Amino acid sequence: MKFEKTQRTPLVELGSNSCLIKGECYPENIAEWSGPVLEALKKTLGDANAAFNVDIELYYFNSSSAKFLFDFFEFLEESSEEGKKIKINWRYRAEDDTMLEAGEDFQEDITACEFNLVIVEYANEDQAQE
Amino acid sequence: MEKNKDTLGLHTFMQDRKTLFCYSGPLTEDLLTTISNPVRHQLSDDETKETVAKRVFGVFIEQAQNIIRYSTQKTKSTGDSIGTIAISVADDGFMIEAVNKIDESKKDVLEATLVELSVADQKALRQMYKQRLRDGPPEDSEGAGLGFIEMARRVKHFEFNFVESGDGALFVYRGWVS
């Protein structure tokens, strides 16, 4: 299942054992956007039959979206406590202190899932496309 | 002739204070979507570091959404929120400013919050942000109640004041990013 990226919302791609969130997140109404995303994630994770990988690569999110991320991680933590094996990769650009700090802050509350802070290096062409 | 002078005055005023972007009037989420890219474009010249541009943009978005959510001055026909928001070049970076009318009864709480944020260091702000996320939004917040903390984390420093204006108070916010 796929939620296409828009100017103000990231790409969300759900595979049978994976979830990718990539882009920027500052929608008009975070609840309107995140409701269906969380629903789909719950379904996917419920059906998952192997270790579940979550990759998050955000360049910017506003303060309203922070609450969505908080709820998102809380759900993953609960699922992990119930027995799901979940690995989260928080991907950030080397110079992006803001996203590194955000990742560190979320990491602090996560104990059941595996949570990794991963530096992303970009070739120039990749950056130009965004 | 007088009006011509005003127009020229507006141009000269904006140029002299190095304002890159200014909007004053009804602000909606649709309009914010439309102006986001041009604003970002303005910030993305070769001399500006990407991290600085991102901080400016972050403060700009929070301020714009504050106007949309909390300005008590509305258009008659559609009820859209009215306010002013601008980005200017400042000594060693950028200044982001916003003005909107607020509910007089909310003034004291807002003032207390901002005074607390203005004296907090980065470490304390980070802690306050985390705590607010865990606690959830305060009752009268339409967002996550995190906006002003987020802005305080991104600026080098900020100033604010309230100006009496007939049927309410005008809230004035200036933040510097470098």
CATH of the domain at B157: 3.30.565.10
Q: How far apart are the C-alpha atoms of B97 and B63, rounded to whole Å?
A: 8
Q: Do A28 and B50 touch (CB under 8 A)?
A: no
How many angstroms separate the CA atoms of A38 and A31, rounded?
10
Tell me the domains of chain A and their CATH numbers: 2-128 (3.30.750)
Kindly list the residues from chain A whose CB atom is less than 8 angstroms away from the CB atom of residue B50. Answer: 95
Are A87 and A94 spatial neighbours (Cβ–Cβ below 8 Å)?
Answer: no
Query: Closest approach of chain A CAs to the CA of B132, in angstroms?
Result: 9
Q: How far is A1 from chain B (nearest CA, A)?
A: 26
Q: Return the higher-pLDDT residue of B174 and B46.
A: B174
The pLDDT of A109-130, averaged and rounded, is 77
Q: Which two tokens stand for residue A61?
A: 């999110």
In this prediction, residue B166 carries a pLDDT of 80
**Residue among A8, A70, A98 minimizing CB distance to B133:** A70
Residues of A with CB under 8 A from a CB of B: 7-8, 26, 28-29, 59-60, 62-64, 66-67, 70, 95-98, 101, 105, 108-109
Nearest to A9 by CA among A29, A1, A18: A29
Best CA proximity match to B172, nearest among B86, B76, B43, B68:
B86
Q: How many angstroms separate the CA atoms of B151 and A120, rounded?
A: 26
Interface test with A, best of B36, B44, B133 (most A CBs within 10 A): B133
- Asked whether residue A129 carries a pLDDT value surpassing 80, the answer given is no
Q: Report the mean per-residue pLDDT for chain B.
A: 91
Q: Measured between alpha carbons, how far is B15 from B89 in angstroms, rounded to an integer?
A: 10
> What mean pLDDT value characterizes chain A?
92
Mark yes or no for CB contact A8/B36 under 8 Å.
Answer: yes
- Residue in A95, A98, A105 closest to B130 by CB: A105
Is it the case that residue A82 has pLDDT exceeding 70? yes
pLDDT the model gives residue A125: 47
pLDDT of residue B143: 59
Per-residue pLDDT, averaged over B7-32, amounts to 96
Cβ atoms of residues A21 and A57 within 8 Å:
yes
Q: What is the spatial distance between Cα A99 and Cα A25, in angstroms, rounded to a whole number?
A: 12
What's the mean pLDDT in A69-81?
95
Is B159's pLDDT higher than 50? yes
Q: Average pLDDT in the B19-44 region?
A: 93
Dist. CA A68–CA A35, nearest whole Å: 9
Of B177, B176, B178, B173, give the one whose Cα is nearest residue B85: B173
**Cβ–Cβ gap B144/A64 under 8 Å:** yes
Q: CB B134 to CB A70 under 8 A?
A: yes
Cα distances (angstroms) measured from residue B176 to each of A87, B56, B129: 38, 8, 20
Q: What is the mean pLDDT of residues B113-142?
A: 88
Residue A123 pLDDT class (50, 70, 90 cuts): low
* pTM for the predicted model, two decimal places: 0.92
| Domains identified in chain B, total number | 1
Please give the pLDDT value at position A86.
96
Which pLDDT score is estimated for A58?
97
Q: Select from B32, B150, B154 the residue whose CB has the most chain A CBs within 10 Å, as the one to mutate to test that interface.
A: B150
Q: Which residues of chain A lie closer than 8 angstroms to B133, CB-CB?
A: 66-67, 70
Domain span at B97? 2-177
pLDDT tens-digit readout, B44-85: 877 788 889 999 999 999 999 999 999 999 999 999 999 999
The mean pLDDT value for B125-145 works out to 81
What does the alpha-carbon distance between residue B142 and residue A12 come to, in Å, rounded to a whole number? Answer: 25
CA gap B89, B20 in Å, rounded: 7
pLDDT confidence bin for B171, thresholds 50/70/90: very high
